[in-house]
Amino acid sequence: GAVVSQHPSWVICKSGTSVKIECRSLDFQATTMFWYRQFPKQSLMLMATSNEGSKATYEQGVEKDKFLINHASLTLSTLTVTSAHPEDSSFYICSASPPLFGRPSYEQYFGPGTRLTVT
Amino acid sequence: AQSVTQLDSQVPVFEEAPVELRCNYSSSVSVYLFWYVQYPNQGLQLLLKYLSGSTLVKGINGFEAEFNKSQTSFHLRKPSVHISDTAEYFCAVSEGGGSEKLVFGKGTKLTVNP
């Protein structure tokens, strides 16, 4: 099946610094990728939809200047947490959906997630 | 706005027993429905999906789910569970129509005991 990878799997950074997380679709091209945030014992919350070659679409309440998303190619999307603070500590997950004959397949493949800890 | 309610946060069962994980949704439009499983330290994996057609959907690992429009439910079932089914299960909804955005429930932790 389709594989989505994330790097790094975990990262610790100091407050005020920026962290970049990569999401790659390894064996398919994805015009659209999704970024989620998962708090302990809670569900996944969609942060933004990443579109190749255009600006990301952010969900209500998500600061676009803080969570920078770049979908540089059909297999890579990056999430940069800028000026990170302890409240940004969380589990960040990306997903991608391979198209089916040029149409949405509605079958998202998820990366293994990135654990971010801001000290 | 869409929402998903998973009524049980934890479900403990014994091995080889049947299990049902409940999921209800609310939406003002037709929806697509999904169940995902998350094993420890792994990413989410699609178990099954309902887009249209038969309301009984069969997925991987012996799981199935039934879409009930009148009750706005999409409960997940397995007739006989294994220890290896221990995981977190998430129900999700999408409004479709070209949008693949998912709204997830809070998840149900299934623990299968020997």
pLDDT digits (tens, 9 = 90+) for B63-104: 999 999 999 999 999 999 999 999 999 999 987 777 788 999
A61 or B42: whose pLDDT is higher? A61
As a whole number, mean pLDDT of residues B39-60 equals 90
Model confidence over A28-50: pLDDT tens digits?
888 889 999 998 777 899 999 98
pLDDT for A54 equals 83
What pLDDT, on the 0 to 100 scale, is given for residue A42? Answer: 78
Identify the weakest region by mean pLDDT among A26-30, A41-45, B16-20, B36-40: A41-45
- Two tokens at A87? 């409240």
Q: Which residues numbered 21-60 in B keep a CB inside 8 Å of some CB on A?
A: 32, 34, 36, 41-46, 49, 51
Q: How far apart are CA B30 and CA A118, in angstroms?
A: 41
C-alpha distance from A85 to closest chain B C-alpha (Å): 25
- Residue B88: per-residue pLDDT: 95
Is the predicted pLDDT of residue B41 greater than 80, yes or no? no
- The average pLDDT across B26-48 equals 88
Residue B92 burial class via C-beta count within 10 angstroms: exposed 0-12, middle 13-18, buried 19 and up: buried
| Whether pLDDT at B28 is above 80 | no
Tally Cβ neighbours within 10 Å of residue A96.
27
Nearest C-alpha of chain A: how many angstroms from B96? 8
- Which residue has tokens 């709204």? B103
Residue B111: name the closest of B9, B5, B28 by CA: B9
**The pLDDT of residue B29:** 76
Computed over every residue of chain B, the mean pLDDT equals: 92
User: Is B46–A106 a contact, with Cβ atoms under 8 angstroms apart?
Assistant: no
